[in-house]
Chains A and B, each alone.
Chain A
Amino acid sequence: MADLKVQIIEALNLKHLKPEDIGDDQPLFVEGLGLDSIDALELIVLLQQKHNTKIANAQDGPTIFKSVRTMAQYIQDHKSS
């Protein structure tokens, strides 16, 4: 999950944050890190590019991107080889 945090910070230009600032279960959107819909789309690209994991429907974003832990779980479950 530490690697994933580095990737998220890089992909979303969260320059004001360090990986350790993001809690494993901290909500990523709105009240948590304050990410928005464009960030969600960029995370979808990140999963595709770096983890070979596809999300076909943008509507699934909120559940998958709830926290770093749910993202990591999704990557593990859906990695296409």
Chain B
Amino acid sequence: MNFISGYSRIHQGRLITPKETTVFAAADFHDFLEKAYDQLALAYPKFYKMDPLSRLGVLASEILLRETPVSNYLPDEVAVVLSNAEASLDTDLRYQATIATAPSPSLFVYTLANVSMGEICIRHGLKGENAFFVSPSFDPQWMSRYVDLIMMQDQVKACVAGWLNVLSDRYDVFLYLVEKQKRGLSEIHSAETLARLYQ
């Protein structure tokens, strides 16, 4: 059996963890991302170069892993399994618009959903297995089953998992940390728990 040690949620202008909810009075989505970045005092200028999907992933993983750090594990022992509905469509559209004049290399590199996972791995030094699934909505059944499956491997000790979706100014993020023993939130890792925490 595996356990959920902590989670982070980003939606409706809020950053949410089990311990804390921060509400931002932001003019728009872009402004919200930058206000959240300032609030967290990330000091990670690369953030500004990322696309919105990666920015959301970095913010959500930051608040998740500040409350429940994974520094006690080796880099290879932490897996990342994410999912969303729109893949990288948000950036695909902006890159597509540059093809006619000068295709933008810095936009093209973000035209893959799993690059956001790469950015999370770079930020936190995670080097375990990665998977990114695309489904119409957050699927607690599939996600819990798949994460349990990869946690059966001895070398996987923890997994950052969840839902990371954005298209234009509509965004919805729910990341959580799964471990083999109880810590922090100590909820049983199951489809029911995930559905409840995601609500």
Question: Which A residues fall within an 8 A CB radius of B?
Answer: 12-16, 34, 38-39, 41-42, 45, 48-49
Contacts and interface: CB of A to CB of B under 8 A. Distances in A.
Contact of B105 (A13, A15, A16, A41): A41
Interface string B38-64: 000000010011000000000000000
A48 B105 contact: no
B49 A12 contact: yes
Contact of B48 (A13, A38, A41, A45): A13
Interface string B116-151: 000000000000000000000000000000000000
B199 interface: no
B49 A13 contact: yes
A48 B102 contact: yes
Interface residues of B, number: 10
Contacts of B101: 49
A41 B104 CA distance: 8
Give 6 nearest A-B pairs by CB, closest first.
A41-B105, A15-B48, A13-B48, A42-B106, A16-B45, A13-B49
Interface of B: 34, 45, 48-49, 101-102, 104-106, 109
A45 B102 contact: yes
24 contacts: A12-B49, A12-B106, A13-B48, A13-B49, A13-B106, A14-B45, A14-B48, A15-B34, A16-B45, A16-B48, A34-B45, A38-B105, A38-B106, A38-B109, A39-B106, A41-B105, A42-B104, A42-B106, A45-B102, A45-B104, A45-B105, A48-B102, A49-B101, A49-B102
A12 B106 CA distance: 8
B76 to A, nearest CB: 24
Contacts of A38: 49, 105-106, 109
A29 to B, nearest CB: 14
Contacts of A42: 104-106
A49 B45 CA distance: 25
A30 B104 CA distance: 22
A14 B34 CA distance: 13
Contacts of B48: 13-16
